């Protein structure tokens, strides 16, 4: 059965006692955590028993003969890594032309879209200004006459009389 320690600063809640004791044996704990484990060992016989078992396990591991890797193991491992690296480079080379082509196509599409947007906005703006000029054409054709009049009341009288109505409609029909 795995025993779990209470929450202590710097350690996750519910950490198994074995993990903390193993870290204590390895010297991986800071001073506060080491003191906490030592206090626990002074008061808890179960913790002392578990620590002795871990020490014995470490001792047995130290006694065991270390087996070295076969020289062919290192060579074959390196060969496998080299083959995997070559395959990755080949894959990237196969994908690169497609990616470059896609980037160029997207760039050209963006430029074309911007050009079309600019063209249509300028065409709309130009058309709007031309329509305004057509609406103002009768005024512009008779501007010299209007400037000689001088009084606004006279112009309003001309407007009410309808003298220039036909000219305005004829110019408006031409558009």
Q: 51-85 pLDDT, tens per residue?
A: 999 988 888 877 777 777 777 887 888 888 889 99
What value, to the nearest 5°, has the Cα angle with vertex 135 and ends 133 and 140? Answer: 65
The answer, yes or no, to whether residue 175 has pLDDT greater than 50, is: no
- Range from 37-51, 80-94, 157-171 carrying the lowest mean pLDDT: 157-171
- For residue 12, the model assigns a pLDDT of 52
Q: Dump pLDDT digits (tens) for 48-59.
A: 999 999 988 888
Q: Which of 3-7, 109-113, 151-155, 161-165 has the highest mean pLDDT?
A: 109-113
Mean pLDDT across the chain: 80
pTM: 0.34
The band of 166, judged by pLDDT with boundaries at 50, 70 and 90, is: low
pLDDT at 107 over 60: yes
**What six digits make up the tokens of 132?**
């305004």
> Residues 163-169: contacts with CB within 8 Å, 24+ apart?
164/138, 167/138, 167/141, 168/138
Helices (H), the chain: 17-26, 31-43, 45-63, 71-141, 143-149, 152-161, 165-174
Q: What are 108-137's pLDDT values in tens digits?
A: 999 999 999 999 888 888 888 888 888 888
């Amino acid at each position: 059965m795995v025993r779990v320690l209470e929450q202590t600063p710097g350690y996750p809640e519910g950490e198994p006692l074995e993990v903390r004791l193993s870290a204590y044996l390895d010297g991986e704990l800071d001073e506060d955590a080491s003191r906490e484990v030592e206090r626990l060992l002074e008061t808890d016989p179960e913790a002392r028993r578990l620590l002795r078992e871990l020490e014995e396990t470490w001792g047995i591991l130290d006694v065991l003969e270390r087996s070295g890797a076969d020289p062919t193991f290192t060579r074959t491992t390196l060969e496998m890594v080299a083959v995997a690296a070559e395959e990755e480079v080949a894959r990237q080379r196969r994908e690169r032309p497609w990616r470059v082509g896609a980037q160029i196509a997207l760039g050209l599409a963006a430029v074309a879209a911007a050009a079309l947007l600019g063209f249509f906005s300028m065409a709309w703006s130009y058309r709007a200004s031309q329509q305004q000029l057509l609406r103002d054409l009768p005024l512009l054709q008779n501007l010299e006459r209007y400037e000689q009049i001088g009084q606004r009341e006279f112009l309003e009288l001309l407007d009410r009389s309808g003298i220039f109505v036909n000219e305005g409609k004829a110019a408006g029909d031409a558009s």
